[in-house]
Chains A and B, each alone.
Chain A
Amino acid sequence: MQAAAGMTVLEVARQEGLDIPTLCYLKALGPYGVCRLCIVEAAGPGLIPTILPSCNLTISEGLIIITDSPVIQSMRRTILELLLASTPLTDPLKVMAGNFGIKTSRFTSAKSDPCILCGLCVRVCRYKIGASALSFASAGNGQVIAERIGMDPELCIGCGTCANICPVQAIQLEDLEAERRLILYGTVVRRFDLLKCDGCGAPYTTREFIDSIISRLDHEQKCSLKNLCCECARQYYAEALTGQFPSDG
């Protein structure tokens, strides 16, 4: 098989349509290698036959990869069962467990939260959103995701990307009327006042989130931003295009 230099085994496998399960890998965030579900058997020149996570393994000439074997299947089953022991059966774990025919876990866990420490929330908040509001706290079995405190208590911008990509719903976003709540491990850790759409009055996003977006726009783009939800934005410009500007102008 041939592929571009620098690609990882996982990327090549996906390109070729081979299914390798992952939980902590997102193309936008790059490899992290903590969920261990993407393990493959690897051998080749200068490499003792071994089992490695494919997300972290860069391809090289003569590399031999087995993505599916009884050994790999057995190890992935164990990893999944360990994960399921500490987290509820939600998507996408549910789908994976179904693929492996796992109904219950042989293991039990003393953990009280559903977090599997995949780190997606921490990484997306730090490296993509640029807010760095989440981080890991403590170590070993006691490790948890925590709000980053100390530097600036207002780091979170309430975008909710962490809640969106959390595979086990350990972080949740709740919009109640004019308030947005960020819920981490079942506890409300941040409250935001939601801005109201100038058109329909419906709450739609946070001031902090808009400010963060504005920082990525140029002057001309900034000037044309209006406090409108998607629906009202379309309505506003449709009226503008017919030469009949909305009455609230």
Chain B
Amino acid sequence: MSIYYIYQDQKRCIGCYACEVHCKTKNNLPVGPRFCRIIPVGPKPVRGIPTLNFVFMPCFHCEKPWCLSACPTGAMQKRVKDGIVFVDASLCVGCKSCITACPWGVPQWDRATGKVIKCDYCKDRVDRGLKPACVTKCTAHALRWVSPEEASQLKRERFAKDITGN
């Protein structure tokens, strides 16, 4: 997988959709396609209390991406230096193989150009030492731009806090 990871602390997320809005603005997306999504799950009873979770779903930039294997033109590419998976628009013929192959429904269709577009972790920003738009503008600081190692550490800390009631 990519050397980066976007960690979401679901306890902090308030479902304001600022990540989606700023992603669309930064990437100049038309009506329809959304690179990252906040998916509300619930409300479902957890220990008797109705609970609503907001799950942040960007592209996971897989180690062995389905989209990349499915792409017949080489338009779907993975950067060697950091593992970011992105589309080279000049090579995309709009066959939608990647859309069909991705188990998470990440690649998006741009009707106007007849090509696929997707989350590239805002690689232009990353290359300038900045964080992706979604992370930068997260109002509740629920999103963190980390390495996968840091993400697992954060998850453990969150779990430890939860079971001790802190």
Which A residues between 118 and 162 are near B, CB-CB below 8 angstroms? 124, 128-130, 159-161
The verdict on A228 contacting chain B, using a C-beta distance below 8 Å, is: yes
Inside 8 A of A235's CB, which chain B residues have their CB?
A: 39
Given the known interface contacts A124-B93, A161-B95, A164-B93, the answer about A244 and B41 at a Cβ–Cβ threshold of 8 Å is: yes
Residue of B nearest to A230 (CB): B105
Kindly state the separation between the CA atoms of A244 and B46 in the bound complex, as whole angstroms: 10
Contact (Cβ within 8 A) B69 A130 = no
Main secondary structure of the interface of A (DSSP, over half): helix
List residues of B whose CB falls within 8 A of some A CB: 10, 37, 39, 41-42, 44, 53, 55, 57, 64, 66, 69-70, 72-75, 90-97, 99-106, 108, 114
Chain A: minimal CB distance from B62 (Å): 9
A12 at the interface (CB under 8 A from B): no
Partner of B55, one of A159, A220, A231, A241: A241
Contact A234 B95 (CB under 8 A): no
10 contacts between A and B (CB under 8 A): A28-B75, A129-B72, A129-B95, A160-B95, A216-B70, A217-B66, A217-B101, A228-B105, A237-B104, A242-B53
| Contacting residues of chain A (217-239) with chain B, CB-CB under 8 angstroms | 217-218, 220-221, 224-226, 228-235, 237-239
The residue that B104 contacts in the complex, of A130, A205, A218, A233, with Cβ under 8 A, is A233
Q: Are A128 and B73 in contact (CB under 8 A)?
A: yes
Chain A residue contacts of B69, Cβ below 8 A: 216-218, 221
Q: Which residues of B contact A220 (CB under 8 A)?
A: 64
Contact of A95 with B by CB under 8 A? no
Choose one: B55, B92, B97; the contact of A213 (CB below 8 Å). B97
Q: A51-91: which have CB < 8 Å to B?
A: none
| B contact residues around A244 at 8 Å (CB) | 41-42, 44, 53
Knowing A210-B100, A221-B64, A233-B103, the reply to whether A242 touches B95 (Cβ < 8 A) is no
Q: Report how far A237 CA is from B42 CA in the complex, Å.
A: 13
Complex: A213 Cα to B53 Cα, angstroms: 33
Q: Which residues of B contact A160 (CB under 8 A)?
A: 95-96
